[in-house]
Amino acid sequence: MQPHQPTGNIIEFDTSRMSSLEQVPSPFHVPRPASVAELHRQLGQQLQTSLEADRLLGIFLTAVRALVPVSGLSYRHGPTDLRLELGEAAPHRTRYHLNHLGESIGELVFQRSTRFDDFELHQLEALLPCLLFPLRNALLYRAALLDALRDPLTGAGNRVAMQQTLTREVELARRHGQPLSVLMLDMDHFKSINDRFGHPCGDEVLKAVTTRLKSQLRNVDMVFRYGGEEFLVLLSNTPEKSAALVGQRLCQAVNSMEFCSHDGHLPLTVSMGCASYRVPETLDALLARADSALYQAKRNGRNQMRLAV
Ligand SMILES: Nc1nc2c(ncn2[C@@H]2O[C@H](COP(=O)(O)OP(=O)(O)OP(=O)(O)O)[C@@H](O)[C@H]2O)c(=O)[nH]1
């Protein structure tokens, strides 16, 4: 057997199978011991205690380990970009796609260093129904939280998210001396895009620019829409020199966008102000410096970045 080679079963698991799983006896006709029934009951209760997916999976893994030796568990839910890893990764894997009424509620992978046998797989599958509804509720909760922090048009972080994140980042920068930079961006002559091509076209431009900005950034960098055509890019652990390079790259990236409306090609540009955190300034002071650098960029002819003083 090749190490680190995913092996095991891939099973489509659906709520429609829940009742049949409860009723069908083990393929080995092993009567379920009272302690297993008790484990199910306790697990069901414990899974009611949280709406956090990582907490639920932690509870679930503990219960699983009472029946089947498992080194680690990984979980992935594409639509909300949620990935969780618990315990230790190992080469032998068994994988379950969890579905509810045709909607994916993620993929669960159990891992360990030796192969799972059929009886163990049966035990895992008997526990999975306990997880299904709590996990689905956790995903709904997560989606609601994400929606509350996201700008509905562009999918960028909204003002609330920006305030929360920046407050935390400035605190970290102050306490640990980590570099932190922000880029304040404003689309140039955006009003004329709306006026000439219509508001829906302006909306499409905002979406396309957000996608373009994100495509130029690292995963850890964050884009927020804090006003109509104004964005803030947060570059954590980034000193001024690197932030300035990123800023220039973003200016060029927007400028080279091929955005076409029914009336032809639309030239797009942004102006931006770049400010890096200086201990012990406040968040408001940092933003004020970025804003005045942005103002300088506008006054200087737009389509450029200016460093804050
Ligand atoms: N389509 C669309 N337009 C928006 C949205 N939010 C704000 N705007 C428009 O953005 C425009 C901003 O105009 P201004 O503040 O004058 O700025 P500008 O035309 O970009 O000019 P400069 O910033 O000086 O280069 C206004 O026309 C707003 O109506 C939105 O969600 N969608």
ipTM, 2 dp: 0.95
229 is catalytic: yes
Q: What's the pLDDT band for 13 if we cut at 50, 70, 90?
A: low
10 φ/ψ sector (left φ>0, alpha ψ -120 to 50, else beta) = beta
Whether residue 97 has its Cβ less than 6 Å from ligand 1:
no
- At residue 227, does pLDDT exceed 50? yes
Whether residue 151 has its Cβ less than 6 Å from ligand 1:
no
205 CA closest ligand 1 atom index:
1
Q: What's the gap in Å between 83 CA and the centre of ligand 1?
A: 37
pLDDT, the chain, mean: 89
Q: Return the pLDDT at 279.
A: 94
192 CA closest ligand 1 atom index:
19
**Domain 10-148 in CATH 3.30.1490.20:** no
Percent of the chain with pLDDT over 70: 89
SS3 129: helix
The tokens for 192 are 């004329």
202 CA closest ligand 1 atom index:
1
Whether residue 196 has its Cβ less than 6 Å from ligand 1:
no
Average pLDDT over residues 84-93: 95
Domain ranges of the chain: 10-148, 159-307
Q: Return the pLDDT at 176.
A: 92
Q: What's the gap in Å between 161 CA and the centre of ligand 1?
A: 22
CB 232: neighbour CB atoms within 10 A?
25
- At residue 181, does pLDDT exceed 90? yes
Same fold yes or no, 10-148 and 159-307: no
Mutate to test the pocket of ligand 1, among 153, 158, 188, 190 (most ligand atoms within 8 A of CB): 190
Determine if the pTM surpasses 0.80: no
Nearest CA to ligand 1 atom 13: 191
Percent of the chain with pLDDT over 90: 78
From 120, 169, 229, 240, the catalytic residue:
229
Q: Return the pLDDT at 40.
A: 87
Where are any strands of DSSP class E within the chain? 10-14, 72-77, 82-87, 92-100, 103-112, 180-187, 222-225, 230-236, 259-261, 264-266, 270-276, 305-307
Q: Return the pLDDT at 64.
A: 95
The tokens for 46 are 């414990």
Nearest CA to ligand 1 atom 5: 228
The more confident residue out of 309 and 16 is 309
Q: Return the pLDDT at 21.
A: 43
Hunting for tokens 């002071």 — which residue is that? Answer: 285
CA nearest 281: which of 170, 132, 147, 161? 170
* Contact between residue 231 and residue 225 where contact means Cβ atoms under 8 Å apart: yes
179 CA to centre of own chain: 23
Q: Return the pLDDT at 34.
A: 59
Q: What's the gap in Å between 298 CA and the centre of ligand 1?
A: 14
Q: What's the gap in Å between 276 CA and the centre of ligand 1?
A: 26
Q: What is the pLDDT of residues 234-287, one digit of tens each?
A: 999 999 999 999 999 999 999 999 787 777 778 899 999 999 999 999 999 999
Q: What's the gap in Å between 168 CA and the centre of ligand 1?
A: 29
- At residue 22, does pLDDT exceed 70? no
CATH number of the domain located at residue range(s) 159-307 in this protein: 3.30.70.270
Q: Return the pLDDT at 79.
A: 84
Q: What's the pLDDT band for 175 if we cut at 50, 70, 90?
A: very high
Mutate to test the pocket of ligand 1, among 191, 261, 266, 294 (most ligand atoms within 8 A of CB): 191
The more confident residue out of 95 and 24 is 95
124 CA to centre of own chain: 28
